[in-house]
Amino acid sequence: MGKFQGLEGMNEFGLVSLVQMAADLLNDRLPEAREAARNIVTSIYEAYTRNEEQKQESWQNFCQSSLPPIHAQSMVKITSSP
């Protein structure tokens, strides 16, 4: 994931596109694809919320504005689990 490290690299690729791709992979039938998607989501979350005070709220707002409700819910669930 080296190319996408940091929010700048993710923005260059298209942060919304990256999140949408990860959301699609969360529903893939291959466990490896789902695990990779969880890792991508975690990396995006960490970069996106690095300078945010209300991390989870900011992330939830971003997901809700970028994804269908069911996918947004999945993304928020991944980052809120310990």
**Total count of domains within the chain:** 1
- Asked if 3 and 9 touch (Cβ cutoff 8 Å), the reply is yes
Q: If pLDDT is split at 50, 70 and 90, which confidence band does 35 have?
A: very high
Using CA atoms, how far apart are residues 3 and 9, in angstroms rounded to an integer? 7
Q: For the ranges 6-15, 30-39, 69-78, which has the lowest average pLDDT? A: 6-15
The answer on pLDDT for 11 being more than 70 is no
Burial class (CB in 10 A: 0-12, 13-18, 19+), 36: middle
- Asked if 50 and 37 touch (Cβ cutoff 8 Å), the reply is no
pTM: 0.80
Residues 6+ apart with CB under 8 A from 79: 41, 42, 45, 56, 59
Residues 6+ apart with CB under 8 A from 26: 34, 37, 38, 41, 71, 74, 75, 78
Tell me the residue range of the domain where 71 lies: 2-80
Percent of all residues in the chain with a pLDDT value above 70, rounded to a whole number? 83
The answer on pLDDT for 4 being more than 50 is no
